[in-house]
């Protein structure tokens, strides 16, 4: 696998938050030893319940937070090292982010044109007319019109604001987008609209997307590969189809069982599985590690669990 070309590689990434000093020191391991890799032009879905560290992972990759430990490599270059002007430039040229909250993520005192055009202005584009033209083109692409450009964010609906956020991220032509729950705050009909838009743009621009979501139903048809996170750790990484067809980790199973089904008959009998790490694992003797159970399918498990999983998949030792 080592020769394979990845666009983004995250290796043993840790991000801990500390508060207090001395005796009162408190450490939150928001992200703890997370590794995964994203291929060019693929969509990687990062899923997990609220507070499991998805946002922190995304923000650490783009260096809104400094990693406590571990490495992040983008296109062969380490981007987790000491921050320099040049590295910041490299990051902003290559990775952009879409945020979770459609209200919070747009400056209430700037017009849409200023918000979307800021990335261009920062890149030294001086010609106001040219910026305006590009902004209008971009707005067109996300389904907004020219005349929305002079408006302020408070005049828009949640879905529209989120599309503005997408326009802002896309206009600088990044190679990768980190989309942090871009649809969680929207209602279901608008969710599809925004996801389809992201998908179209991805196709058009050959983007790589790290798509963060808190339930599997959103990433289901959208992601090529999916990573499942639980309490700051990745517990299972697999191709989208594999994850649905043969989930291994009990937490993945729990998440899958939480997806509502469109068929009213089967939906009524859907069995909700819950996950309790105390009950589902016995790590008193063996320590769990991330293991590749079958090609491209990783699970966080102990040796004995591994054996069980292999048996389940019908793979001989």
Partner 1 sequence: MKYIDHNIPEEILNIPAEQFELVERENIKDEKFKTEPIGFFKDAMRRMGKSKPTMISLYIIVAIIIAALIVPLFTGYKYDEQNVSFKNLPPKIPGIEKLGIADGSRVLTNRKASSLEDPDRFPEGCIIEIVNEYEYKGTPVVDVKVDYYKYLGVPEDQYHWFGTDYLGRDLMTRLFRGTRISLLIAFFSVITNVIIGVIYGAISGYYGGKVDMLMTHFAEVLDGLPYIVMTILFMILLGPGMFSIILALCVTGWIGTSRLIRAQFYRFKGREYVLAARTLGVKDITLIFRHILPNTVGPLITRAMIAIPGAIFSESFLAYIGLGISPPEPSIGILLADGQNVLLQYPNQTLFPAILISLLMIAFNLFANGLRDALDPSQRGEE
Ligand X SMILES: Nc1ncnc2c1ncn2[C@@H]1O[C@H](COP(=O)(O)OP(=O)(O)OP(=O)(O)O)[C@@H](O)[C@H]1O
Q: How far is the CB of 134 from ligand X (least distance, A)?
A: 31
Cβ-contact 150, 112 below 8 angstroms: yes
Closer residue to partner 1, CB minimum distance, 200 or 276: 200
Is 233 a residue that touches ligand X (CB under 6 A)? no
User: What tokens appear for 196 in the block?
Assistant: 């389809």
Among Mg ion, ligand X, partner 1, none, the one that 315 touches (CB under a kind-dependent 5 to 8 A) is: none
Beta bridge partners of 74: 8, 77
When binding is defined by CB under 6 A, the residue of 55, 60, 94, 162 that contacts ligand X is 55
Q: How far is the CB of 147 from partner 1 (least distance, A)?
A: 6
Is 297 a residue that touches partner 1 (CB under 8 A)? no
- Which residues have CB under 8 Å from 280's CB, separation 6+? 250, 251
**E-only strand ranges, the chain:** 8-19, 26-38, 43-48, 69-74, 77-78, 95-98, 176-180, 208-213, 225-230, 233-239, 289-294, 297-301
Q: Tell me the residue length of the chain.
A: 317
Site string (236-275) toward partner 1, x via CB under 8 A: ----------------------------xx--xx------
List the interface residues with partner 1, window 48-87 (CB under 8 A): 59, 62, 64
Q: What is the DSSP annotation of 87-154?
A: HHHHHHHHEEEE-S-TTTTS-TTS-HHHHHHHHHHHTT---HHHHHHHHHHHHHHTT--GGGTTS-GG
Is 54 a residue that touches ligand X (CB under 6 A)? yes
When binding is defined by CB under 6 A, the residue of 12, 17, 88, 121 that contacts ligand X is 17
What is the distance between the alpha carbons of residues 121 and 170, in angstroms, rounded to a whole number?
A: 14
Beta bridge partners of 180: 212
The HSE-up count of residue 107 (CA atoms within 13 Å, CB side) is: 11
Q: How far is the CB of 50 from ligand X (least distance, A)?
A: 3
Site string (110-149) toward partner 1, x via CB under 8 A: xx------xx--xx------------------xxxx-xx-
Closer residue to ligand X, CB minimum distance, 99 or 156: 99
The count of residues interacting with partner 1 (CB under 8 A) is: 50
Kindly indicate which of the ranges 49-57, 117-125, 278-286, 296-304 contains the residues binding ligand X, using the contact rule CB under 6 A: 49-57
Beta-strand relationship, 43-48 and 208-213: parallel
Cβ-contact 20, 222 below 8 angstroms: no
Among partner 1, ligand X, Mg ion, none, the one that 107 touches (CB under a kind-dependent 5 to 8 A) is: partner 1
What is the distance between the alpha carbons of residues 211 and 56, in angstroms, rounded to a whole number?
A: 13
What is the distance between the alpha carbons of residues 213 and 41, in angstroms, rounded to a whole number?
A: 19
List the interface residues with Mg ion, window 36-65 (CB under 5 A): 55
The residues that touch ligand X, with contacts defined as CB under 6 A, are 17, 28, 30, 48, 50-56, 214
| Contacting positions for partner 1 (CB under 8 A) | 59, 62, 64, 88-89, 91-93, 95-97, 99-101, 104-111, 118-119, 122-123, 142-145, 147-148, 150-152, 154-155, 160, 163, 165, 168, 172, 192-193, 196-197, 264-265, 268-269
Q: Interface with Mg ion by CB under 5 A: which residues?
A: 55
């Amino acid at each position: 696998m080592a020769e394979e070309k990845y666009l983004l590689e995250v290796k043993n990434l840790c991000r801990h938050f500390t508060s207090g000093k001395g005796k009162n020191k408190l450490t939150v391991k928001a992200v703890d030893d997370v590794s995964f890799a994203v291929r060019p032009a693929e969509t990687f879905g990062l899923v997990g319940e609220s507070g499991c560290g998805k946002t922190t992972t995304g923000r650490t990759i783009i260096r809104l937070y400094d990693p406590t430990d571990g490495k992040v490599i983008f296109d062969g270059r380490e981007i987790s090292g000491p921050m320099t002007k040049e590295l910041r430039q490299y990051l902003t040229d290559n990775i952009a982010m879409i945020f979770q909250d459609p209200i919070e993520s747009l400056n209430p005192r700037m017009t849409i044109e200023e918000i979307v055009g800021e990335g261009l202005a920062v890149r030294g584009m001086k010609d106001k007319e040219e910026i305006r033209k590009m902004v209008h083109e971009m707005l067109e692409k996300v389904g907004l019109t020219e005349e929305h450009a002079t408006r302020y964010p408070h005049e828009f609906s949640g879905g529209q604001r989120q599309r503005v956020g997408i326009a802002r991220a896309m206009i600088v032509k990044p190679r990768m987008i980190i989309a942090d729950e871009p649809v969680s705050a929207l209602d279901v009909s608008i969710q599809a609209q925004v996801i389809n838009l992201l998908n179209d743009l991805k196709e058009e621009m050959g983007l790589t997307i790290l798509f963060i979501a808190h339930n599997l139903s959103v990433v289901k048809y959208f992601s090529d590969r999916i990573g499942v996170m639980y309490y700051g750790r990745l517990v299972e990484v697999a191709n989208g189809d594999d994850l649905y067809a043969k989930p291994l980790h009990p937490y993945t199973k729990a998440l899958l069982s939480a997806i509502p089904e469109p068929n009213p008959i089967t939906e009524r009998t859907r069995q909700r599985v819950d996950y309790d790490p105390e009950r589902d694992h016995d790590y008193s003797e063996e320590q769990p590690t991330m293991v590749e159970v079958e090609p491209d399918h990783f699970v966080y498990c102990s040796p004995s669990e591994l054996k069980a999983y292999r048996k389940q998949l019908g793979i001989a030792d």
